[in-house]
Amino acid sequence: MSAYDFTVTVRTQHLPEQSNPERDNYVFSYTITIRNTGSVPAQLISRHWVITDANNRVQEVKGLGVVGHQPLLKPGEQFEYTSGTQLATPQGSMRGEYFCVAEDAHRFEVTIPEFVLSLPRSLH
């Protein structure tokens, strides 16, 4: 195990009340839990997302922090947030990285494993 390690878990949800399939607009929320599983306090500084729909259209999103926060997590602490995205197709996926800086100024990246965005019962 690394001294510099965050574990990322994701839960997704389709938001039918915000979606408009007639206009190829499908809205999803995702709830992410980031836990410092390393041994050094570290701060999440920025994020980079790659969002791909079923037609292989890719959106990239980069920015500081997550939902307006740059959480500083001590070992064992976690931060949870919910955000959302829109796709032009009923399925897609997201993956990315968080860029973090530890208390000792060591910089590291945390991979966000790819996860699927999909309407319920639409996978065959």
Residues 72 and 70: their CA atoms lie apart, in Å, by 7
Please identify which residue in the block is written with the tokens 């195990």: 1
For position 121, what pLDDT does the model report?
75
End-to-end CA distance of the chain: 38
Write phi, then psi, for 121 (nearest 5 degrees).
60, 15
User: What pLDDT band is residue 105 in, cutting at 50, 70 and 90?
Assistant: very high
For position 1, what pLDDT does the model report?
66
For position 64, what pLDDT does the model report?
97
Residues 118 and 15: their CA atoms lie apart, in Å, by 10
pLDDT higher than 90, residue 70: yes
HSE-CB for 101 with a 13 A CA cutoff: 7
Query: Which stretch of DSSP H or E encloses residue 95?
Result: strand 91-102
Residue type at position 72: L
3 state DSSP class of 21 = helix
For position 118, what pLDDT does the model report?
96
For position 120, what pLDDT does the model report?
85
pLDDT in tens, 13-64: 999 999 999 999 999 999 999 999 999 999 999 999 999 999 999 999 999 9
pLDDT higher than 70, residue 122: no
